[in-house]
Structure 1
Amino acid sequence: MRFRPWPKPEPYRDTSRKRAAFKRKQRLEREALLLFSEMIAAGQHSVDEEMARRHIWSDEREREQRALRAGRWREARSRLFALPAELRSTIRNLWRICPYPADPTYLLDLLHQIKVGRVDPHRPPWVFDGKLSARTTPNPETFDEAFRQIGHRKIGGGPKATPADEFLFCGNLGSGILFLRTRVRLNDPHESYYTSSSHRLRDSHVGRAGHWIDLEVRGDCSDSELELIRRLAQDADTRPVVVRRVDTMTPTHGEAAP
């Protein structure tokens, strides 16, 4: 049976801080009623008397707490052994691995929770017995069905150029999680352009020389999945889409590579 030993009893320690705190308490009592300060002072006892009383009280308190704890252990054991043998063995094994402190109060509470049906001893709430499976989209029909947007920021810009949008997507086609980053790039890199904040893989008529979508794919991705990503992205946009693999996210200006 898992249990936490009671700390070794120690005698009450008489310190200068405790004496100063007691004197301050008596002073505040007198200052609270200045007209009756002399009467209050006459009824107050000395610091030495208070320390002697605390020595006696500490020993009595220690005995009471130990007796109370022992009584709770006896109550918990009596409740436990009143159960059927199979259930008793299950609860004892459960008590060894449960996250509760090794205290009789927590054991009594566990027995009560099992009795009223809030805790199933065969399937405790702190043990996860479910099966984890990745959420995949093996045969998506659209880009939005396969990938979910998880990031958006502005990049570029300057005195004569406005910033463009960069979007980050994630999804899983079956081989593992993939991270996609899309950027709008100009055919003429010296041309100023602007992409609206609502623009993702949509039409845009900004830029006289035209522009294209640069789509970076990070993660384990087969050639067939890469082609599927290109096709879905191209179906979602009228501009040319170029898909390429990258080992790490390519840092932009002012960023450091991870």
Structure 2
Amino acid sequence: MRFRRWPRPTAYRETPRKRAAFLRKQHLEREALPLFADAIAARQHGVDEEMARRHVWWDEREHDQRDARARRWREARARLFALPDLLRAKVRGLWRTCPYPADPASFADFLHQIAVGRLDPDRPPWVFHQRSQARITANPATFNEAFRQIGRKLVGGGPDTSPTDELLFCGNLGSGILFLTSRARLIGQNESFYTSSHHRLRDFDVARSDHWVEIDVRGECSESDLSLIEQLAQAANTRPVIVRRIDPLAGQGGQLRAS
């Protein structure tokens, strides 16, 4: 075990500063009650007597502190040996490497943190642990199961148009994290968001048949994952869905997949 030895007892050291501080203390006591200064002075003892008393008190204090420290060590060791064999061996190994001070109070707190579950002996906080594996949805049944919405903003809009929602999703099908951007479009190739008022995309008619959904996929995405995204997105939409892979470095779209 890792225990720090108590320093050897030392004798009380007299210094001129300690003697002057004691005389100053007696002087302040007399000045605090000037009418009773003579009575207070008669009850005060000399500085030599005070130094002799401190020598005796110092030795007693050192002895009491050593006894208290040894008692705390015995109590902490009793708690340690009450643990199961496997856990006790693991705890002893952790105590040798932990950054806590090697004193009984720290050791008792160390055992308490383990007992209440705040310190995991298998994953101590002072040891670096590799990051856990990313959450993967290997065989999703629905689009909502595979991807979680993490953002939303309005795009388009102008003097004669209303903006439409652009949704951002993220998920991991096994090859790495993917980011999907979904937005509704007008089917008319010559139309845009800046059209006349009777062709605007409004919140209440985004499910109409004259709209289609465009989904941009960013991240490491295989052909099979792209097909799966297409199937899940189409199953969740009554409108046609077009999925395309986006190269974030080039800033250009890749292959289009329409349903």
Q: TM-score range with shorter-chain normalisation?
A: 0.5 to 0.7
Structure 1 residue 222: deviation in Å?
0.6
Partner of 2:242: 242
Deviations 1:73-107 (A, max 9, x none): 423443438838x6765433221344645443121
Work out whether residues 98 and 126 of structure 1, in 8 Å CA contact, stay in contact via their aligned partners in 2: no
Q: SS in structure 1 opposite 2:184?
A: strand
Counterpart residue type for residue 147 of structure 1: F
Structure 1 residue 140: deviation in Å?
2.6
Instruction: State how many pairs are aligned.
Output: 201
Partner of 1:127: 124
Aligned match of 1:204 in 190, 204, 208? 208
Say yes or no: does 1:142 pair with 2:142: yes
Q: Give the number of the structure whose alpha-carbon radius of gyration is greater.
A: 2
Alpha-carbon distance in structure 2 between the residues aligned to 1:245 and 1:176? 14
Structure 1 residue 180: deviation in Å?
0.7
- Runs of 5+ unmatched residues, structure 2: 8-13, 18-27, 38-46, 252-259
Partner of 2:165: 165
Note closer, same or farther for the CA distance 1:222–1:98 as it changes in structure 2 (3 Å cut).
same
Partner of 2:201: 194
Work out whether residues 180 and 215 of structure 2, in 8 Å CA contact, stay in contact via their aligned partners in 1: yes
Deviations 1:8-52 (A, max 9, x none): xxx99x9xxxxxxxxxxx9xxxxxxxxxxxx96748x9xxxxxx9
Alpha-carbon distance in structure 2 between the residues aligned to 1:2 and 1:250? 61
- Runs of 5+ unmatched residues, structure 1: 15-25, 27-38, 46-51, 252-258
Partner of 2:214: 214
Deviations 1:154-207 (A, max 9, x none): 1222222222101111222222221111112233124252342x89xx6136xx
Q: TM-score, normalised by structure 1?
A: 0.56
Counterpart residue type for residue 135 of structure 1: R
RMSD: 4.9
Q: SS in structure 1 opposite 2:162?
A: coil
Percent identity over the alignment is: 41
Work out whether residues 216 and 245 of structure 2, in 8 Å CA contact, stay in contact via their aligned partners in 1: yes
Note closer, same or farther for the CA distance 1:89–1:60 as it changes in structure 2 (3 Å cut).
farther
Q: TM-score, normalised by structure 2?
A: 0.56
